[in-house]
Each structure stands twice: as structure tokens, then as C-alpha cells.
Amino acid sequence: MKAKDIRSMTVDEIENKLVESRDKIFKQRMQKALGQAENPFKIRSTRRDIAKMITILAEKRSENVK
């Protein structure tokens, strides 16, 4: 997911997507632990997407406070 796409979302949409991504990374980690993962390197991209969402969410919240 690109940062540009995340910035175009509302705060509620980002929060919902963040919950979905955290659930997704949990499932990916479980599959990796069980040896059933198709592509274990997707965990890295999911982790990075979560970090992007958290960063942009913090930016949007700080803009609303000012």
C-alpha cells in the first residue's frame, strides 16, 4: 500500500484498515510458524504497511489538534 493511498483515507478508514492489517500479520505469522506460508516475505511488507498507517494516523490526529 502506498502512502499516497493511505493519506487519501479518513481517520476511521485508516483505523479499520490497521485492525485488518494486524489481523493479517497475525495469520501470516501463524502460517509461517506452522510451515504453511506461501510467501513468508509478505510479513515484511505487511509490517511496513502497518508502520505507514500508524505514522500517517498520528500526523492526521496532530493536524486536528492544532
44: domain CATH number is 1.10.287.310
For residues 47-64, average pLDDT:
94
The mean pLDDT of 25-36, rounded to a whole number, is 92
pTM of the entire structure? Answer: 0.88
Question: What is the count of structural domains for the chain?
Answer: 1
How would you label 37-49 residue by residue, b for 16+ Cβ within 10 Å and e otherwise? beeeeebeebeeb
pLDDT at position 39 over 70: yes
pLDDT average, residue stretch 42-56: 96
pLDDT at position 42 = 92
- Mean pLDDT across the chain, nearest whole number? 92
Structural domain for 47, as ranges: 3-65
pLDDT in the model for residue 66 = 63
